């Protein structure tokens, strides 16, 4: 039977590849009013599960409902992640009335663990399923050898580029970040920007430090070490600071109307982004069909193939579900069934966590929008070269907000991006200490 944690209980969790310090459940324990329980559904008994997500996966859920009349899933769309969805999840956990299932990004899983908000799925047989999933994605939801989330998808990085514009302007596709900057100067001569720089997207910014080999958090014993100011991170900060200050990158928030207008009009010639951005470009810049292609992310060292990840989500069963067995069955089906994966790919949910044969899925087909390129072969290579030792702290949401706030001040004329990281590092440490955790700066 599942064990019920108490507020005083100190849980020492560990991922499969890196130890996490002791995390005390120092706030109100999520599930303080009730815990996930299996009530032993009788044959023919109908169950309804609520699923909170911001991904438009209603078609996949409808297919499940058609095939499983006794286990019905109701999708309730929430704002994406930090814009309101997680606040609702945490509030409902404290109140004891959460949905059964929720989409939780990999970076947010430690935050939910700290609040005791996730169901121990190992108690319900989840460990038997792990061979169906990409190992590093599976491990995102494993703490102290127990599984707390079913991986859904990740976001290996690549370079989306307007091949028509680069060809017209006689610009080679950049293979290194030095080449990228030189190409940006040529693009500027034609009245466009090489790319956008989104001020309020610390995850996007972090992916370049990740690619460079930085590690923003690590642990030593029971202490969190925060390191936003390593030589690698400062190199990345200086690089993007230079692009923005020299008018080569346009400061504008991604996924907004002005950004998509820039992609559509050719104001933005490239966009380094995760695989799942293909659907956003296709849906918001439809008149550019056939004009796009994808290349590897430019490299910091010539000849390398280093990559990183932006985004990635799990399907978690929140603490308090009264039907965890049925919820686990659905979560596994959603993320591994071939018919479900086809529908999820069409919805742009990201790079599958399930092990797949690329050539046998829609992801491996030539795509007319990208000029007939089998562009996901690029992301397959990227996925294989992601440094999987990158870790997230249990305070990533507020800590990344400091980075965004500081970058916003920099763009307003106050300091540099490197200064923004130095200040955020100290605030990051304060966030961890405020949760009752031991933490210090690497400086």
For position 357, what pLDDT does the model report?
93
134 and 24 housed in the same domain:
yes
For position 346, what pLDDT does the model report?
83
In a domain, 104, yes or no: yes
190 and 79 housed in the same domain:
no
51 and 93 housed in the same domain:
yes
127 and 48 housed in the same domain:
yes
408 and 354 housed in the same domain:
no
Residue 43 burial (C-beta neighbours within 10 Å; 0-12, 13-18, 19+): exposed
- Asked if 137 and 154 count as a contact pair (C-beta separation under 8 A), the reply is yes
Please list the residues that pair with 53 across neighbouring strands.
77
For residue range 151-209, list pLDDT tens digits in order.
Answer: 999 999 999 999 999 999 999 999 999 999 999 999 999 999 999 999 999 999 999 99
For residue range 234-270, list pLDDT tens digits in order.
Answer: 999 999 999 999 999 999 999 999 999 999 999 999 9
For residue range 379-407, list pLDDT tens digits in order.
Answer: 999 999 999 999 999 999 999 999 999 99
100 and 241 housed in the same domain:
no
For residue range 314-339, list pLDDT tens digits in order.
Answer: 999 999 999 999 999 999 999 999 99
Mark which of 384, 404, 426 sits at the end of a domain. Answer: 384
In a domain, 4, yes or no: no
For position 218, what pLDDT does the model report?
95
For residue range 101-133, list pLDDT tens digits in order.
Answer: 999 999 999 999 998 999 999 999 999 999 999
Residue 16 has pLDDT above 70, yes or no: no
Domain assignment of residue 273, given as a range:
157-309+389-441
Q: 3-state class of 441 per DSSP?
A: strand
Query: Helix (H) and strand (E) counts for the chain?
Result: 15, 17
271 and 365 housed in the same domain:
no
183 and 254 housed in the same domain:
yes
Residue 21 has pLDDT above 80, yes or no: no
In a domain, 2, yes or no: no
In a domain, 51, yes or no: yes
262 and 329 housed in the same domain:
no
Helix residue ranges, H only, 159-308: 163-168, 177-189, 202-212, 231-245, 257-265, 277-284
For position 172, what pLDDT does the model report?
98
- The reported pTM is 0.90
Contacts of 404 (CB under 8 A, 6+ apart): 199, 200, 201, 202
418 and 279 housed in the same domain:
yes
For position 84, what pLDDT does the model report?
67
Paired tokens of 140? 């995102």
DSSP run (H or E) holding 48? strand 47-53
Model confidence at 82, in pLDDT bands (50, 70, 90)? low
Please list the residues that pair with 104 across neighbouring strands.
314
Residue 19 has pLDDT above 90, yes or no: no
- Asked if 248 and 241 count as a contact pair (C-beta separation under 8 A), the reply is no
Paired tokens of 354? 């399930």
Please list the residues that pair with 150 across neighbouring strands.
315
In a domain, 5, yes or no: no
Q: 3-state class of 353 per DSSP?
A: coil
396 and 326 housed in the same domain:
no
436: DSSP letter: T
How many domains does the chain divide into? Answer: 2
Comparing 364 with 39, the larger pLDDT belongs to 364
Residue 13 has pLDDT above 60, yes or no: no
Q: For position 322, which CATH number holds?
A: 3.40.190.10
- Asked if 243 and 298 count as a contact pair (C-beta separation under 8 A), the reply is no
How do beta strands 142-143 and 223-226 pair? unpaired
With CA atoms as reference, report the closest residue to 101 among 136, 74, 122.
74
In a domain, 1, yes or no: no
With CA atoms as reference, report the closest residue to 221 among 407, 41, 437, 390.
437
């Amino acid at each position: 039977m599942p064990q019920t944690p108490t507020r005083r209980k100190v849980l020492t969790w560990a991922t499969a590849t890196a130890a996490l310090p002791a995390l005390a459940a120092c706030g109100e324990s999520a599930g303080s009013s009730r815990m996930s329980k299996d009530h032993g559904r009788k044959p023919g008994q109908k169950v309804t599960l609520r699923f909170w997500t911001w991904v438009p996966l209603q078609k996949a859920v409808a297919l499940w409902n058609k095939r499983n009349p006794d286990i019905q899933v109701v999708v309730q769309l929430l704002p994406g992640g930090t814009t309101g969805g997680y606040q609702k999840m945490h509030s409902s956990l404290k109140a004891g009335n959460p949905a059964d299932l929720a989409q939780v990004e990999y970076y947010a899983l430690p935050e939910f663990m700290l609040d005791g908000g996730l169901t121990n799925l190992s108690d319900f047989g989840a460990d038997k399923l792990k061979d169906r999933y990409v190992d590093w994605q599976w491990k995102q939801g494993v703490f102290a050898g127990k599984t707390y989330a079913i991986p859904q998808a990740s976001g290996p990085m690549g370079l989306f580029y307007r091949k028509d514009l680069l060809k017209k302007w006689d610009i080679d596709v950049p293979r290194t970040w030095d080449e990228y900057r030189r190409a940006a100067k040529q693009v500027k001569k034609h009245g466009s920007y090489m790319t956008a720089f989104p001020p309020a997207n610390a995850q996007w910014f972090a992916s370049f430090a990740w690619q460079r080999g930085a590690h923003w958090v690590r642990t030593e014993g029971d202490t969190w070490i925060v390191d936003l100011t390593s030589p690698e991170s400062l190199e990345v900060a200086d690089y993007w600071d230079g692009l923005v200050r020299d008018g080569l990158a346009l400061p504008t928030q991604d996924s907004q109307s002005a950004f998509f207008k820039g992609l559509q009009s050719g104001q933005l010639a490239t966009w380094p982004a995760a695989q799942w951005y293909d659907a956003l470009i296709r849906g918001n810049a439809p008149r550019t069909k056939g004009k796009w292609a994808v290349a590897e992310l430019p490299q910091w060292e010539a000849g390398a193939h280093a990559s990183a990840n932006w985004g990635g989500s799990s399907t978690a069963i929140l603490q308090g579900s009264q039907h965890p067995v049925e919820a686990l069955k659905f979560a596994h089906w959603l993320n591994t069934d071939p018919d479900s994966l086809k529908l999820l790919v069409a919805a742009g949910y990201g790079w599958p966590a399930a092990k797949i044969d690329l050539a046998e899925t829609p992801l491996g087909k030539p795509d007319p929008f990208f000029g007939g390129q089998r562009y996901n072969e690029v992301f397959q290579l990227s996925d294989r070269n992601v440094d999987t030792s990158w870790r997230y702290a249990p305070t990533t949401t507020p800590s990344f907000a400091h980075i965004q706030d500081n970058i916003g001040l920099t763009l307003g004329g106050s300091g540099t991006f490197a200064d923004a990281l130095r200040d955020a590092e100290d605030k990051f440490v304060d966030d961890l200490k405020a949760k009752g955790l031991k933490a210090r700066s690497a400086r």
